[in-house]
């Protein structure tokens, strides 16, 4: 039998087995209530992390300075100073072989340029990964799963031998582009996964060589394409299946997320929502960008939101923010990082701030968020809270919400004189502030004990391209960097799908909240509802799924709802542990799919997550809760499942 026929038969047999297995898995998922597999919640929370790149070597023809590990760490420290300690990930570009776009698909050799002092290149890279967290920075790698070179690494010929390279119908290998003097052939994700090469020859050896990589929680495959393979009759849908399997493997074995450059060029009905949490160029695909009112930032976020090949910002970036990536700023001057402060203060800072709030409504002209935040775009982004300006184009005055204490960062691109800014209500007890200039070498005192007027306003004058940190007078800089103490604790008890609406003898001994019927919350808890409104499906019904009205025999089909996401804020003041049971009901049987996260009220870190589907008959989620937590309910929308209309919950019971 000819090799071509053998490989074709082998692939078709493997495909049949995979399709059979996928069918069985889909049935099992549906039996468990699943509408599709998912990896959320991720290892990290990318909507609260600044992701950026540092290139150590762009290749032999590049004029950009090559960097050793010690020089990279110096850059990491400077960026940390500029960004006031915001959590960060840096992806190292060109760390392998002889620089960027060399050596793929192999990851087995560390670039010599990283070597410093008496360390080997590998020792230097491992050292850098261990040192980065001292500067609030996880150090990870920029890799590539799509390109394959046959002439500069030992793995490329194996890909050719095992027919992992994409072939055209006539058997020719598909070529990509010439990078750094080497022709890049396109690799098939499907064949790479199902032949075991990805596991055995790429990822497992990489983590064995660099055990510190697990510390990063993240890995960035650049330019990860979906590719059909005509010779083996593998279409893009099957290639996406291979990509999802690769993503799942890395996450489940190493607890590491795969981020990537874009989520475009996928076939109809395919995306990587719930799989890839961060898209480097979130706005590249101007025809189908992520919908901010269907996909919240903690499900999928991005670096920049520029359209491909231009400096035009995608619409969602204007109203919902986008982050800085700092690659060009660092390349221009590794010491001064020109425009680095501007990029952070005018992009990442507002993006982070908006991500800490819920999206309420968007009409194309105005985006409304929780906590009375309004964003408009009259030729520039204007952010207001309670009617007071926080950002006016490239003049910003925004709280640094990642800090444990009070801090505001102000920046101006062009400068101004004697401008009055209104401080948030959380600064009510602050009468004077200390002001520091932000530099790459750290904070430099600008003024001490500057007074705030009786109307909680602060008069500022800034030079062009100046950024400042504003702290309550007398605040120790080290104290303000202390990590947050968790605001609350949660333990998941389990589910109850049997009780349905008949709660009276089982739940609510210490109180309850039933939308549209009665609010009898216990005195020990402050409870509030963020980003939701009541809606009653039916005020009186005998359906067993409907919640029974207190002291009556009738039921009420009731809910609080929001199309995208809502929060139940629970703040227990007595320090004791309480049982809280939340009843969810898809009463009108719309095929709702919700993710129910219990998050820390201060840091927004996820404490517990539940994938909620198939709850037409009603289900209770039961928790033990202490302190201050929030129940965040998110509607799931993906290209793969678009039927879920909104989020709903129908009652809360306290015991």
Q: What is the 3-state secondary structure (H, E, C) of 75-128?
A: HHHHHHHHCCCCCEEEEEECCECCCCCCCCCCCCCECHHHCCCCCCHHHHHHHH
DSSP-assigned letters across all residues of 253-266: HH--EE-BS---SP
The whole-number pLDDT of residue 645 equals 97
**Pairing outcome for strands 416-422 and 366-369:** unpaired
d(CA 430, CA 418): 20
Is residue 321 a contact partner of residue 314, using CB atoms and an 8 Å limit?
A: no
Is residue 358 a contact partner of residue 566, using CB atoms and an 8 Å limit?
A: yes
Return the structure tokens found at 197: 């090469």
Q: What is the pTM of this model?
A: 0.93
Q: Which of 243, 97, 232, 106 is nearest to 173 (CA)?
A: 232
pLDDT along the chain (655 residues), means of 10: 39 37 34 60 97 94 91 98 98 97 97 97 98 97 96 95 94 89 93 96 98 98 94 94 95 97 88 95 81 96 90 93 96 97 98 98 97 96 97 98 94 97 95 98 97 94 98 86 82 97 96 95 96 96 95 94 98 96 97 97 94 96 98 95 96 98
DSSP-assigned letters across all residues of 365-422: SEEEETTTEEEE-SSS-EEEETTEEEEETTEEEEE-TTSSS--EEEEESS-EEEEEEE
Is residue 131 a contact partner of residue 73, using CB atoms and an 8 Å limit?
A: yes
DSSP 155: S
CA atoms within 13 A on the CB side of 16: 5
589 Ramachandran zone, left/alpha/beta (phi>0; psi -120 to 50): left
d(CA 89, CA 141): 10
CA atoms within 13 A on the CB side of 333: 7
d(CA 420, CA 280): 36
Return the structure tokens found at 587: 């009463």
Alpha carbon of 385 to those of 368, 374, 567: distances in Å?
A: 10, 6, 19
Residue 29's CB is within 10 A of a number of other CB atoms, namely 15
Beta carbons within 8 Å of 3's beta carbon, 6+ residues apart: none
Rg (CA), the chain: 27
The three-class DSSP label of residue 635 is strand
Is residue 585 a contact partner of residue 497, using CB atoms and an 8 Å limit?
A: no
The whole-number pLDDT of residue 582 equals 98
The three-class DSSP label of residue 218 is strand
Overall residue count recorded for the chain in this entry = 655
The three-class DSSP label of residue 55 is strand
Quickly tell me which residue has 């202490």 as its tokens: 626
d(CA 539, CA 584): 17
d(CA 432, CA 197): 62
Return the structure tokens found at 429: 């007890």
Beta carbons within 8 Å of 543's beta carbon, 6+ residues apart: 501, 555, 557, 587
Q: Which of 316, 319, 310 is nearest to 295 (CA)?
A: 316
Number of H helices, E strands in the chain: 13, 36
Q: Which of 240, 225, 105 is nearest to 161 (CA)?
A: 105
- The residues with which 528 forms a beta bridge, in sequence order, are 569
Sign of CA dihedral 612, 616, 617, 618: positive
d(CA 385, CA 438): 25
Is residue 270 a contact partner of residue 286, using CB atoms and an 8 Å limit?
A: no
Return the structure tokens found at 293: 């009112």
CA atoms within 13 A on the CB side of 202: 27
The three-class DSSP label of residue 301 is strand
Beta carbons within 8 Å of 539's beta carbon, 6+ residues apart: 516, 556
The three-class DSSP label of residue 147 is strand
One-letter-per-residue 3-state SS of 562-610 = ECCEEEEEEEECCCCCEEEEEEECCCCCCCCEEEEEEEECCCCCEEEEE
d(CA 507, CA 653): 6
Return the structure tokens found at 512: 């309850």
At how many degrees (to 10) do helices 236-254 and 3-31 cross?
A: 70
Is residue 239 a contact partner of residue 14, using CB atoms and an 8 Å limit?
A: no
Is residue 407 a contact partner of residue 400, using CB atoms and an 8 Å limit?
A: yes
N- to C-terminal Cα separation, the chain: 71
d(CA 96, CA 204): 16
Q: Which of 472, 558, 579, 573 is nearest to 523 (CA)?
A: 573
The whole-number pLDDT of residue 646 equals 98
């Amino acid at each position: 039998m000819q090799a071509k026929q053998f490989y074709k038969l082998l692939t078709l047999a493997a495909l049949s087995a995979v399709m059979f297995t996928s069918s069985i898995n889909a049935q099992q998922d549906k039996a468990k209530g699943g509408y599709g597999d998912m990896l959320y919640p991720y290892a990290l929370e990318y909507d609260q992390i600044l992701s950026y790149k540092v290139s150590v070597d762009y290749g032999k023809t590049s004029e950009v300075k090559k960097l050793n590990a010690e020089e990279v760490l110096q850059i990491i420290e400077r960026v940390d100073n500029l960004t006031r300690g915001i959590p960060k990930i840096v992806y190292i570009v060109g760390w392998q072989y002889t620089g960027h776009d060399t050596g793929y698909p192999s990851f087995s050799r560390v670039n010599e340029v990283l070597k410093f002092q008496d360390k080997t290149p590998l020792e230097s890279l491992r050292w850098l990964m261990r040192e980065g967290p001292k500067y609030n920075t996880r150090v990870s790698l920029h890799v590539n799963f799509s390109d394959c070179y046959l002439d500069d690494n030992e793995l490329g010929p194996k890909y050719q031998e095992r027919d992992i390279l994409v072939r055209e119908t006539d058997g020719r290998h598909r070529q990509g582009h010439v990078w750094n003097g080497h022709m890049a052939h396109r690799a098939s994700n499907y064949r790479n996964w199902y032949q075991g090469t990805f596991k055995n020859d790429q990822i497992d050896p990489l983590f064995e060589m660099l055990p510190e990589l697990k510390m990063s929680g993240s890995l960035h495959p650049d330019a990860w394409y979906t590719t059909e393979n005509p010779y083996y009759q593998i279409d893009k849908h099957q290639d996406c299946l291979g990509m999802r399997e690769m993503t799942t493997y890395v996450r489940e074995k190493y607890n590491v997320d795969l981020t990537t450059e874009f989520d475009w060029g996928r076939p109809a009905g395919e995306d990587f929502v719930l799989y890839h949490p961060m898209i480097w160029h979130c706005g590249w695909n101007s025809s189908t960008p992520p919908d901010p009112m269907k996909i919240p930032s903690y499900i999928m976020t991005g670096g920049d939101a520029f359209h491909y090949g231009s400096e035009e910002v995608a619409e969602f970036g204007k109203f919902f923010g986008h982050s800085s990536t700092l690659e060009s700023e660092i390349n221009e001057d590794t010491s001064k990082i020109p425009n680095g402060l501007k990029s952070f203060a005018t992009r990442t800072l507002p993006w982070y701030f908006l991500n800490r709030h819920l999206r309420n409504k968007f009409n194309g002209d105005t985006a409304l968020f929780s906590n009375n935040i309004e964003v408009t775009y009259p030729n520039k982004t204007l952010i207001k809270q309670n009617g007071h300006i926080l950002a006016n184009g490239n003049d910003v005055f925004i709280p640094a919400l990642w800090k444990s204490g009070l801090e505001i960062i102000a920046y101006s691109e062009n400068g101004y004189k004697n401008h009055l800014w209104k401080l948030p209500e959380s600064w009510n007890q602050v009468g004077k502030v200390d002001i520091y200039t932000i530099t790459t070498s750290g904070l430099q005192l600008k003024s001490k004990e500057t007074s705030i007027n009786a109307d909680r306003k602060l008069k500022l004058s800034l030079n062009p391209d100046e950024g400042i940190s504003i702290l309550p007078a007398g605040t120790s800089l080290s104290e303000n960097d202390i990590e947050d103490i968790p605001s609350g604790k949660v333990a998941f008890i389990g589910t109850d799908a049997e009780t349905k609406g008949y709660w009276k003898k089982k739940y609510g001994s210490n109180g309850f909240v039933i939308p549209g019927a009665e609010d009898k919350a216990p005195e020990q808890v402050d409870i509030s509802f963020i980003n939701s409104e009541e809606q009653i499906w039916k005020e009186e019904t005998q359906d067993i799924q409907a919640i029974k009205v207190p002291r009556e025999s009738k039921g009420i089909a009731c809910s609080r709802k929001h199309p995208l996401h809502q929060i139940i804020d629970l703040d227990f003041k007595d320090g004791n542990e309480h049982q809280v049971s939340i009843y969810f009901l898809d009463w009108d049987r719309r095929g709702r799919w919700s993710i129910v996260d219990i998050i820390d009220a201060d840091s927004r870190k996820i404490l517990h997550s539940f994938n909620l589907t198939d709850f037409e008959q009603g289900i209770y989620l039961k928790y033990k809760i202490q302190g201050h937590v929030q129940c965040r309910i998110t509607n799931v929308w993906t290209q793969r499942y678009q039927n879920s209309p909104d989020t709903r919950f129908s009652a809360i019971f306290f015991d």
